Amino acid sequence: ATIRCVERGGTLGELSMVSREGVYLYSCEALRRTHVLSIPAERCREAMDRHPECRAEFMSRLALELTDRLEDMALLTQGDAMSRLVSYILRQLPSGRGKEPRVVRLTIPKRWLAAQLAVTPETLSRLLAKLRDSGAINIDRQRLTVLDEQKLRDLMMTDD
């Protein structure tokens, strides 16, 4: 199962830092040429012990990551494909509520996003077209503009 796709500059394996042995709880696979910086868990713990602000930031990010994974699991077991897609889009939105349209950059290939949402690439394309046709989003290649956030939320709650 694809749990998530890590984008350029993203982190992976953070949960191993809260394990005494530094055991990884899942594995990963690079789907394109990748450069990885591996930092031993013990070294990270030492740095966080010396820098409490770093520990606070780590714990905050870990809490967000765990919340996202729990939501993903709930949607995969209870939600339909549209709910999973809309939830993903809403979680990718930048924070803040300015007047300008809110933009989500799809920085991973759509076939990887489809795998993460447990749908086929064709189903993902149909769902994005449905959101576009409803006036909730506009999509131009890798740039998804949310035009009506409330309409997105309504579609998530009513689609079968």
Same domain? For 87 and 151 the reply is: yes
**Residue 2 domain-assigned?**
no
Q: Are residues 84 and 150 in the same domain?
A: yes
- In the three-class reduction of DSSP (H, G, I as helix; E, B as strand; rest coil), residue 73 is classed as helix
Looking at residue 141, which CATH number applies to its domain? 1.10.10.10
Indicate the DSSP class of residue 25. S
Q: Which two tokens stand for residue 13?
A: 């394996």
Residue 150 to residues 42, 94, 137, 147, 155: CA-CA distances in angstroms? 45, 16, 11, 9, 9
How would you classify residue 6: left for phi > 0, otherwise alpha for psi between -120 and 50, otherwise beta?
A: beta
- This prediction has a pTM of 0.66
Q: Are 152 and 136 in contact (CB under 8 A)?
A: yes
Residues 40 and 90 in one domain: no
Q: Domain ends where: 56, 76, 96?
A: 76
> Within 10 A of 105 (CB to CB), how many other CB atoms are there?
12
Same domain for 152 and 85: yes
Q: Which of 76, 109, 127 is the last residue of a domain?
A: 76
Any domain includes 8 = no
The DSSP letter of residue 103 is: E
Q: Show pLDDT as tens, one digit a residue, over the chain (160 residues).
A: 677 778 778 888 777 777 776 566 677 888 788 888 888 888 888 888 999 999 899 899 888 888 877 877 777 777 789 988 998 899 888 877 666 778 998 888 888 889 888 899 999 999 999 999 999 999 998 899 999 999 998 888 775 5
